[in-house]
Amino acid sequence: MSDLVVTTSHKASTEQQDRAEVWAERLAVPLVPRKGRSIAEVATDEHVTGVLVISDREPVYYEPGRQLEYFFHPNMAKVRIHNLKAGRGDPMIEAMQLSGGDSVLDCTLGRGCDAIVASWVVGAAGKVAGVERIPILAALTAHGLANYEIQPDDVAAAMRRIEVHQADYHDVLTDAAPASFDIVYFDPIFDQPLDGSPAMDLLRALADQHSVDAVALREARRVARRAVVIKQRRGSDYWEQWPFPFEIVAGGASRIEYGRLSVS
């Protein structure tokens, strides 16, 4: 039995119905007719936790049991790119020491906000590949990156260039060739959530919550040509468990920091 079904809005057009079929196939889950039911009724009747609703808007994933409603949004990516254009910098980009033509493996793609900023910096000559383990997150992010309408055009182009892989980063790293990306990046779910970040609370509810372990770090050091970069809460003691010299980069009043482990 699947834990998720796809359905449409009430009074679905043929076109909506066709798109819902594509989503059901993509996620390998059943497509069920809406039949006038509320989303909670669909979940109960079909014995599933989640319902993906295809309508004229963007696809929306619901978990009525947790009153959760999730859809793709590029979050702060546009503002961060605007800041970069204005010469104000970005601590993640600083920690990565990223520039045009570089390649980044973002092991924790989530909604893709960090990947979009990295993709804008590396440009068309560079490459950003993102890995997300949770199928519904990977599918919604892949769709959003490919279709979300946004201005200016260079931000849209940065989104379209990102490669999305639904996989566990342990597997992707193990299969990757040595020194195959300039930067390997992780933004794991923090042990303690940051207050006042509703968008992150939603992602957190759906995400794989494990922190970056020794196996992943070993493989990441092998795959990175220049550095492994990990995001944490500011003042985190995460770094202390490793016998490696993480260089900490934090922006002004930011509540987060980045650990950079140079490998060359």
Ligand X SMILES: C[S@@+](CC[C@H](N)C(=O)[O-])C[C@H]1O[C@@H](n2cnc3c(N)ncnc32)[C@H](O)[C@@H]1O
CA 110 to chain CA centroid, nearest Å:
2
Can residue 110 be called a binding residue for ligand X (CB under 6 A)?
Answer: yes
**Does 163 help bind ligand X (rule: CB under 6 A)?**
no
Q: Which residue is nearest to ligand X (CB)?
A: 110
Considering only the stretches 44-52, 104-112, 145-153, 219-227, report the one whose residues sit in contact with ligand X under the rule CB under 6 A.
104-112
Work out whether 187 is an interface residue with ligand X (CB under 6 A): yes
Cβ distance 24 to 6 under 8 Å? yes
Stretch that binds ligand X, among 59-67, 205-213, 217-225, 233-241 (CB under 6 A): 205-213
User: Contact 94/231 with Cβ under 8 angstroms?
Assistant: no
> Is residue 59 a contact partner of residue 71, using CB atoms and an 8 Å limit?
yes
- Please count the other Cβ atoms lying within 10 Å of the Cβ belonging to residue 259: 23
Stretch that binds ligand X, among 14-22, 32-40, 41-49, 201-209 (CB under 6 A): 201-209
Which residue of 111, 127, 161, 226 would you call a contact of ligand X, by CB under 6 A?
111
Is there a contact between 262 and 247 (Cβ–Cβ < 8 Å)? yes
Among 24, 43, 48, 137, binds ligand X (CB under 6 A): 137
Told to check if 88 binds ligand X by CB under 6 A, we report no
Asked if 46 is part of the footprint of ligand X (rule: CB under 6 A), the reply reads no
Paired residues of 257 in beta bridges: 232, 250
Residue 246 engages ligand X in binding (rule: CB under 6 A): no
The least distance separating ligand X from the CB of residue 263, rounded to whole angstroms, comes to 20
Determine, following the binding rule CB under 6 A, whether residue 131 of this chain makes contact with ligand X. Answer: yes
Return the half-sphere exposure (C-beta side, CA atoms, 13 A cut-off) of residue 5. Answer: 20
Is the distance from CB of 33 to CB of 7 less than 8 angstroms?
yes
Amino acid at 34: R
Using CB under 6 A as the binding rule, whether residue 150 contacts ligand X is answered as no
Output 204 or 225, the one with its CB closest to ligand X. Answer: 204
CB of 113 to ligand X, least distance (A): 3
Does position 259 interact with ligand X (CB under 6 A)? The reply is no
Q: How far is CA 256 from the centre of its chain?
A: 17
d(CA 168, CA 170): 5
Q: What is the CA radius of gyration of the chain?
A: 19
Residue whose structure tokens are 């997300």 = 132
Residue 13 C-beta: closest distance to ligand X, Å:
32
Interacting residue ranges for ligand X, rule: CB under 6 A: 108, 110-114, 131-134, 137, 168-170, 187-189, 203, 207-208, 210
